[in-house]
């Protein structure tokens, strides 16, 4: 079995006799000993295939075709795949510049970094994570679309609303959010944040796969996010609901019109068109409430950052995103509070699935991250040790500079879901 590390030097795994990459870092920097295995590479594609099978069974059961309405998933694959290539080039340039101490590294230095860090197997592994994620996304969308046909006449909006009021001792949490936050400019801010999620998830997925210290960490994140699609689709079928904005629109009538208002109206029009002629391949619907996949995706990212031992500032930023998302989904009417609670449960389940499928050593990943942080702190020059920048480095200095940067510099980031929909 081929096992590959973040670097590109090949060695032999004495225990298994397989080829492996010996980890190392420049200037004595500790490198992760976590090896990239085929098991980790196929984890996200496996989730994608399982979701695809479920979608084919669901669409066949109700007699409609499997579809990519408006080619949304295909466009995402092209867009994010292109971004992946650009980010790989940026990764090579940054590492070559850091390794040579020059803002404009030579082509030779960049080729050396590319050969070391981005061999064919690593590139294929990163693309496999991306492809698995979007195969799961496309299939999830098909399952979500046919929920009204799989469960005709079944709706749990009233029950979900009653649970919310029970949790808040008889009060409506949506009314509380509107009373505390008001309506006006803040509504537009909430709307912008929600719509920005559409861009944030594809970009953050690509960043995770490219800049991860160890690609296995990036594949762990991609697999966990992919599992959110599969588990979320199952909850939509189990508990069909539209969401507060559609079940109780009068509660939100006082909010100003925003980009989210337009999105919500467009989704309702799509649903009406789909139910009028579900066999039309140009139609599809994307309204479902339980659970909130916006919540599950962001919580997945935040928890994954802790599990992988990522930087403190990144972890804090991700939890801020989680909190704003929780408020956003309630305030704008996408979800009930119990939908968000369910989303947290889905996130935890998805991370467990990703851990099992990828086989990642999370303790080892955290330990390696801690060692890399300690190394950076130990080698950082103090005020009296700062290098003299008044003299340009000579040819010998450039020749002795390391050909690659510290692999502990970059960290994967977290997530929000792509595409239109009330997930």
Over residues 330-345, the pLDDT tens digits come to: 999 999 999 999 999 9
Q: Which residues, other chains included, contact 362 with Cβ-Cβ below 8 Å and sequence gap of 6+?
A: 307, 308, 355
Q: Tell me, what's the pLDDT at 372? A: 64
Which are the contacts of 354, defined by CB distance < 8 A and separation ≥ 6?
43, 220, 221, 223, 224, 227, 360
C-alpha distances in angstroms, 67 versus 120, 285, 371?
32, 12, 47
Given phi > 0 = left and psi -120 to 50 = alpha, else beta, which region is 214?
Answer: beta
pLDDT digits 0-9 by tens, 39-95: 899 999 999 999 999 999 999 999 999 998 888 888 888 888 888 888 888 888 888
pLDDT of residue 206: 83
- pTM comes to 0.79
What pLDDT is stored for residue 373 in this prediction? 63
Q: CA-CA distance, 25 to 31, in Å (whole number)? A: 5
Between CA 409 and CA 90 the distance in angstroms is 14
Which segments in the chain show pLDDT lower than 50? 1-34, 381-417, 419
Give the per-residue pLDDT at 375. 55
Contact between residue 316 and residue 263 where contact means Cβ atoms under 8 Å apart: no
Region of residue 31 (left: phi > 0; alpha: psi -120 to 50; beta: else): beta
Q: Do β-strands 19-21 and 10-12 pair in parallel, antiparallel, or remain unpaired?
A: antiparallel
Query: How many H-runs (helices) and E-runs (strands) does the chain carry?
Result: 16, 4
Distance CA 208, CA 126 (A): 9
Give the whole-angstrom CA distance, residue 422 versus residue 328: 12
pLDDT confidence of residue 84: 83
């Amino acid at each position: 079995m081929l096992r590959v590390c973040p670097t590109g030097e090949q060695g032999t795994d004495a225990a298994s006799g397989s080829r492996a990459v010996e980890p190392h870092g420049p200037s004595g920097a500790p490198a992760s000993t976590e090896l990239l295995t085929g098991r980790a590479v196929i984890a996200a594609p496996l989730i994608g295939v399982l979701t695809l099978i479920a979608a084919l069974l669901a669409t066949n059961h109700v007699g409609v075709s499997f579809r990519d309405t408006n080619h949304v998933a295909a466009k995402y694959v092209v867009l994010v795949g292109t971004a992946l290539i650009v980010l790989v080039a940026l990764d090579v340039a940054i590492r070559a510049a850091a390794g040579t101490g020059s803002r404009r590294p030579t082509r030779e230095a960049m080729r050396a970094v590319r050969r070391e860090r981005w061999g064919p197997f690593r590139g294929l592994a990163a693309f496999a994570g991306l492809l698995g994620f979007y195969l799961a996304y496309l299939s999830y969308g098909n399952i979500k679309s046919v929920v009204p046909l799989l469960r005709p006449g079944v709706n749990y909006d009233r029950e979900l609303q009653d649970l919310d009021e029970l949790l808040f001792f008889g009060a409506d949490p949506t009314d509380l959010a509107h009373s505390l936050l008001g309506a006006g400019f803040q509504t537009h801010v909430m709307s912008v944040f929600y719509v920005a999620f559409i861009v944030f998830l594809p970009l953050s997925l690509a960043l995770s796969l490219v800049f991860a210290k160890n690609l296995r960490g990036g594949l762990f994140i991609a697999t966990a996010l992919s599992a959110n699609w599969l588990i979320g689709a199952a909850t939509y079928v189990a508990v069909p609901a539209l969401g507060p904005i559609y079940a109780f629109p009068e509660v939100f009538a006082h909010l100003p019109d925003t980009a989210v208002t337009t999105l919500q109206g467009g989704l309702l029009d799509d649903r009406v068109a789909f139910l009028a002629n579900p066999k039309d391949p140009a139609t599809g619907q994307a309204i479902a409430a339980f659970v909130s996949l916006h919540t599950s995706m962001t919580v997945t990212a935040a928890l994954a950052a802790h599990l992988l031992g990522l930087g403190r500032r990144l972890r804090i930023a991700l939890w801020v995103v989680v909190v704003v998302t929780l408020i956003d989904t309630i305030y704008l009417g996408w979800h009930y509070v119990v939908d968000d609670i369910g989303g947290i449960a889905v996130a935890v389940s998805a991370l467990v699935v990703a851990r099992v499928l990828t086989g990642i050593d999370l303790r080892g990943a955290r330990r390696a991250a801690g060692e890399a942080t300690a190394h950076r702190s130990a080698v950082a020059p103090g005020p009296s040790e700062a290098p003299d920048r008044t003299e340009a480095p000579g040819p010998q200095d450039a020749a002795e500079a390391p050909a690659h940067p510290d692999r502990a510099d970059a960290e994967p980031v977290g997530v929000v879901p792509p595409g239109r929909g009330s997930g």
